[in-house]
Homo-oligomer: A and B are copies of this chain.
Amino acid sequence: MSYIRYIITYLLLDGSMIFVVKSKAMSFIPSNLSGTDPVDQSAIVPGASPTFSPLYQQIKALIMQRLQSFEWRPGESIPSEVELGGRFKVSQGTVRKAIDELAAENLLVRRQGKGTFVATHHEARSKFRFLRLMPDSDQPQITDKKIVELKRLRAPAEIARLLVMKAGDSVVYVKRVLAFDRVPTILEDLWLPGALFKTLTLERLSEYKGPMYGLFETEFGTRMIRATEQIRAASADGDVAELLGVEKSSPLLCVERVSFTYGDKPVEVRRGLYVTNLHYYQNELS
């Protein structure tokens, strides 16, 4: 083994100097290069199908398993790339590529010098990830949330279909109004699988201050990671007009969302009616 030695001489701003002697190995030769077996990929994912899948995709799946099982919890850091490489018996570069994709999907967040962290809905950064309604003025706004109703009921056919449940299975139904700067703007109906949200109550939801998806993540072990929205134009009927404080027959955006957790499992249906006099739905096309 060959080493190189070098001295770092720091010239500090106050004129003083510091000397540091370092030595570093120049190269590393594995002692038994020919004796090591190549990685047995099938051992990594024992039940893997015979269909080809790149190593980094398998690593990605392994990492996702640990996220899904909350072995690595939202907000916490995951092991370093080098550590994971050692654990999974692959190079750091391969782990890196797996993490790259997970970061692109907003499941992980990289922070240079600090580590890689599990994304969480308890963050200012992620506040507008699922809410695309923006104010005409750039002013920050005061948000008020009011739960109008929360009850358990048997899933209507349409909701059951979207949640991949049997019609009649238990669901939690929530109706709420969001106001920005005291102006009622969003009226939302939500349906959640009853089995996952057994202990959700109107009180708990009302008193909770942070983002709703944060509550779901922390207290119900359900992380929303993706959603699709279908947008239509609608007219306010009598009830809606009253709750939103607009004229009857006013035009509204009708936004129907289905949210998914790990494994593309749908876990929320949400139908929102948006007043767009002072706000607009923002979308980026690329």
The residues in A between 103 and 156 inclusive whose CB is less than 8 angstroms from any CB of B are 105-106, 129-130, 132
Give the docked Cα–Cα distance between A6 and B130 (Å).
48
A129-B285 CB under 8 A given contacts A233-B253, A252-B251, A253-B233: yes
Q: Kindly provide the distance from the CB of A133 to the nearest chain B CB, expressed in whole angstroms.
A: 9
Give the docked Cα–Cα distance between A13 and B284 (Å).
53
A227-B9 CB under 8 A given contacts A232-B276, A233-B234, A276-B233: no
**A-side interface residues toward B, CB under 8 Å?**
2, 4-13, 105-106, 129-130, 132, 225-235, 249, 251-253, 257, 274, 276, 280-286
**What are 22 A-B interface contacts by the 8 Å CB criterion?**
A4-B10, A4-B12, A5-B10, A7-B8, A7-B11, A8-B8, A8-B9, A9-B9, A106-B286, A130-B285, A132-B283, A225-B286, A227-B285, A229-B284, A231-B253, A231-B276, A231-B281, A233-B233, A233-B252, A233-B274, A253-B253, A283-B283
Residue of B nearest to A18 (CB): B6
Question: In the assembled complex, which residues on chain B have CB atoms less than 8 Å from the CB atom of A284?
Answer: 226-229
Q: What's the number of copies of this chain in the assembled complex?
A: 2
Give the docked Cα–Cα distance between A38 and B281 (Å).
49
Report yes or no: B2 in contact with A13, Cβ–Cβ below 8 A. Answer: yes
Report yes or no: B286 in contact with A132, Cβ–Cβ below 8 A. Answer: no
A226-B286 CB under 8 A given contacts A234-B251, A251-B234, A251-B251: yes
A9-B6 CB under 8 A given contacts A234-B233, A252-B251, A281-B230: yes
A281-B232 CB under 8 A given contacts A9-B9, A11-B7, A286-B106: yes
